[in-house]
């Protein structure tokens, strides 16, 4: 009997997901560039959207900030044709002000938290309180953080506010355009910080946990339509679906929380 109940629930869930998707009369290509925090969720959601709409989603990746070649601001500065960008809300809003994102197209998608990771099997430091967190960071031989919104917050705000930046700066590494977890896994840094949704897919690391109260800043990641978009209507339809309850299961699975 339980098997039939589970099967029925699965069928209903599948129908709800299908019903929530817009149906396109003419198939189109929608080019999306997503930053790391939303990558795991989008890799699951993109194919679902393609199957239901018959639109092809062309997915590429780039950081919300920074000067690497693939970073979203750098792509838009070059005039790259993109239908949807998914990135940190602060840099996204800055791009709106610069005239690179269509006014009114921004939609907040998820809330994201920063976590700490160590190499798989290594001792996990106590970071349950702000004092314990501070002690763990001071005791680390080497520290890695991203060049995107979460890492910028750590290096320019949190660590200076805790009064430890001058002590750890020389053994801290800003990692540009690559997963911080990779550098933790191969031993290049002892502890690494990045959005939990970006740490979860990395093999060879253990996630110690999210930053404690007083250190944690919940980041908002949203989507917008660049002024260079070839198919802004297709981009709008995709964003509306990503913000709908149909996307919530994949969002939660990736370690994020839906914004609505």
For the domain made up of 2-111+219-258, give the CATH fold.
D-Maltodextrin-Binding Protein; domain 2 (3.40.190)
DSSP notation for 171-236: GEEEEPSS-HHHHHHTTS-SEEEEEHHHHTT-TTEEEEEEPPTTT---EEEEEE-BTT-S-HHHHH
* Locus of tokens 């506010």: 161
Lookup: tokens for 153? 């917050």
Query: Are 190 and 143 within 8 A, CB to CB?
Result: yes
How many Cβ atoms sit within 10 Å of the Cβ of residue 206?
17
Confidence of residue 27 (pLDDT cuts 50, 70, 90): low
Q: Give the pLDDT confidence of 201-216 residue by residue, as tens digits.
A: 999 999 999 999 999 9
CA distances from 46 to 53, 147, 183, 229 (A): 11, 26, 28, 18
Query: Are 28 and 233 within 8 A, CB to CB?
Result: no
Question: Which of 16-20, 64-68, 160-164 is least confident?
Answer: 16-20
CA gap 158, 162 in Å, rounded: 6
Q: Give the pLDDT confidence of 40-94 residue by residue, as tens digits.
A: 999 999 999 999 889 999 999 999 999 999 999 999 999 999 999 999 999 999 9
What confidence score (pLDDT) does residue 17 get?
44
What confidence score (pLDDT) does residue 14 get?
44
- Domain ranges within the chain, ordered by starting residue: 2-111+219-258, 114-210
| pTM exceeding 0.75 | yes
DSSP notation for 22-70: PPPSS--EEEEEE-GGGHHHHHHHHHHHHHHH-PEEEEEE--SSSSSTT
Pick the CATH number of 114-210 from 3.20.20.100, 3.40.190.10, 2.40.37.10, 1.10.3720.10: 3.40.190.10
- Average pLDDT of span 106-112: 98
Do domains 2-111+219-258 and 114-210 share one topology? The answer is yes
């Amino acid at each position: 009997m339980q098997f039939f109940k589970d099967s029925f629930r699965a069928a209903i869930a599948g129908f709800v997901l299908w019903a929530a998707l817009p149906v396109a009369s003419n198939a189109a290509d929608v080019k999306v560039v997503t930053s790391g925090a939303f990558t795991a969720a989008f890799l699951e959601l993109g194919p679902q959207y393609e199957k239901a709409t018959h639109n092809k989603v062309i997915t590429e990746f780039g950081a919300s900030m920074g000067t690497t070649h693939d970073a979203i601001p750098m792509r838009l500065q070059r005039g790259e044709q993109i239908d949807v960008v998914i990135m940190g809300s602060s840099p996204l809003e800055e791009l709106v002000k610069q005239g690179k994102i269509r006014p009114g197209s921004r939609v907040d998608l998820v809330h994201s938290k920063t976590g700490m990771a160590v190499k798989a099997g290594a001792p996990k430091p106590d970071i349950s309180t702000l004092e314990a967190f501070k002690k763990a960071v001071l005791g680390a031989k080497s520290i890695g953080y991203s060049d995107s919104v979460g890492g910028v917050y750590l290096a320019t705000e949190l660590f200076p506010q805790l009064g430890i930046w001058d002590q750890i700066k020389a053994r801290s590494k800003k990692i540009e355009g690559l997963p911080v977890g990779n550098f933790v896994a191969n031993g290049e840094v002892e502890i690494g910080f990045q959005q939990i949704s970006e740490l979860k897919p990395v093999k060879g690391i253990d996630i110690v946990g999210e930053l404690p109260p007083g250190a944690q800043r919940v980041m908002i990641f949203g989507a917008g339509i660049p002024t260079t978009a070839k198919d802004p209507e297709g981009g709008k339809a995709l964003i509306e679906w990503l913000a709908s309850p149909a996307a919530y299961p994949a969002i939660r699975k990736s370690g994020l929380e839906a914004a609505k």
